[in-house]
Structures are given as C-alpha cells and as structure tokens.
Amino acid sequence: MSKLVTIYGGSGFVGRYIARRMAKLGWRVRVAVRRPNEALFLKPYGSVGQVEPVFCNIRDDESVRSVMHGADAVVNCVGTFDARGKNNFDAVQSEGAGRIARIAAEEGVESFVHLSAIGADKESASSYARTKGLGEEAVLASFPSAMILRPSVIFGMEDSFFNRFAGMARMGPVLPLVGANMKFQPVYVDNVAEAAEKGLTGVAAPGIYELGGPEVKSFRAFIEEMLSVIRRRKMLLNLPFGLASVMGRVSEFVQRVTGGLFTAPITRDQVIMLRKDNVVSDGAKGLKDLGIIPVAPEAVLPDYLWRFRPGGQYDAIKESAASLRTE
C-alpha cells in the first residue's frame, strides 16, 4: 500500500501545493481541515480516493490523533493572523503546533515538517512572531528530527500579498505603504512546497531552513514591480510607523465592534513586524542546501496579476492593436 501523509491546513495557500506534490508522488493524502466541504477542490489532485479532506480541530487531542492514525509523514501548515477568538495566535501557532508534533511522536510518524516564518522568535514584541517561535520550540521538544521551514513573504496565484496590493491599486491615485524601505525576499509557493516534499520523503536532512527567493529588495521596489505588471501608475506613500499603529488600533476596534464584518486593513501586530527586514539570515540553511532553484517574482506575477490591469485580459490585445500601422 502507498504511504500516507496527513497535512494539517492542507487546503490553505501552501498546503494545497504540498498536497498536489505528494499526490503526484503516489502518496495517499489526508487533508485535515476545519471545513472539509470547502476543501473538495483538492480531490482531483489524485486518483479516486487518493486525496481525502477530513475534519480536524487542532485544539483537541483526539481530533488531531484520529486524522493522524496510520500516517507515515505529517506536515503542519496551520497558521493564523487572528489575535482573538478560539483560534488565536497562541491556540493555533503555539499550542496547536506543539500538540500535532507531540501526537506525531506518540504515533510513531517517520517524518515531520512544520511551516513557520522568518522572524519567528519567542522573545519578539510581535504576537505573531512570538507564537511562531514558541511553536517551533514545542515542535522540536516533541519531535527533534523535524524539518522547520521559515519562508519569507510567499507569492503565487492565491497569495495575499501581491493580490492584495494589486487590488488596492485599482482604487484612488495613492497607494499607502507601511515600512516601504524594509527589505523583503519573497519566495515562490511551489518552492516552499518542494522543500516540504523533500522533508516528508526523507530526502532532506532535519533542521531549520529559511526560505527566500533570488531577489532582496525594498517593499517599495516590489510594489513598483507589481504596478509595472498591472500597468498602473500610483503615488506610493510611506506611512510613519506611529501613524500606522494608530490606524491599526482604530481598525482593530472597528473590527471588534462590528463582529468581524469589517476586516482591519492593518493591525498593530503587523506594524511591529514591518519594522524589521524579512530576509534570510546570514549562514542559514535555505533553498540552495535543498537543491531547489528559486523562482523570481517577475517570472510568475504576469500569470496571475493580469486581471488587475485596466483592460484585464484584453490589455495585451489593446496594446497590440494600437501598435498596428494603418495603411
């Protein structure tokens, strides 16, 4: 019988790419999610019955254990940007990660991959980064041979980075940025999935890997590249961190009093994270050590950002028609 991998958060941005890769290798893929009905799009990744979405609540031991039973490998892709509610930073990124790793060790799982983030630090002033750091600590305490992946900003068709700012660029002449001079090193989502695949199959050695793309540039420079792809001109306004913090506080308050009907465009925790560069550390193991060739944003962005152009899919046709010489 083919091997089985359980992917916690397998219907998310990165998880779906890992699921596809493991299915192509012939593995059975069990996708553990809160809403299995919303993960049915994963089933065509494999043959009939090969990819199966199942319900799981990572805040409950028995729920985590039931979907892990019989698994040869486990990957945890669950993360959140929700500071409140039952599935908050601590419950998901710290306690949840530790729970999955502990039960994986108890169940005799062969390989374990944990998706963290660059900047993970249990001493960080950012709740997101702090709980990511605590999650790493809990994972290694239970599963010392785990592979931990720390990606920079992840880009790809379903990303919430370039898609978000491209959507904002359709409204008004000004595009506000917080931390415009901070350095980013965006990494392609399938490069992250390939790294996870190497860990799950035992090709890569255990340890912490920081994953970044081939380009290190400022936040502003990447947004300018995005604007070039969608063929829009905007004035980029770098907001002071102090003002951004006030905006975050107000946005969080409005989101809270509206019961989540209003989504905060930025939070105070995100402002804290934007004060630091998001790049691979000197001397850290990364994609090169895994034998993975990183994909640059310029090679991928036109494939999915075309819909934000003024003419959408017809923009290129209009440009071609405009260049025709009339007789």
- How far lies 270's CA from each of 210, 213, 264, 281, in Å? 20, 22, 11, 20
Instruction: Tell me the percentage of the chain whose pLDDT exceeds 70.
Output: 95
Residue 100, domain extent? 4-158+185-213+279-294
Total domains in the fold of the chain: 1
Structural domain includes residue 152: yes
CA distance 102 to 148: 15
Mean pLDDT lowest among 87-96, 194-203, 256-265: 256-265
Q: Which CATH number belongs to the domain containing residue 100 in this structure?
A: 3.40.50.720
Output the pTM of the full model. Answer: 0.93
Structural domain includes residue 180: no
Structural domain includes residue 66: yes
Using the predicted structure, report yes or no on whether residue 309 has a pLDDT greater than 70.
yes
pLDDT digits (tens, 9 = 90+) for 221-273: 999 999 999 999 999 999 999 999 999 999 888 888 887 777 788 899 999 99
pLDDT digits (tens, 9 = 90+) for 109-120: 999 999 999 999
pLDDT digits (tens, 9 = 90+) for 137-168: 999 999 999 999 999 999 999 999 999 999 99
CA torsion through residues 247, 234, 229, 239, sign: negative
Structural domain includes residue 231: no
Of the pLDDT bands very low, low, confident and very high (cuts 50, 70, 90), residue 196 is: very high
Using the predicted structure, report yes or no on whether residue 79 has a pLDDT greater than 80.
yes
Structural domain includes residue 88: yes
Q: What is the pLDDT of residue 325?
A: 57
Structural domain includes residue 260: no
Structural domain includes residue 112: yes
Structural domain includes residue 111: yes
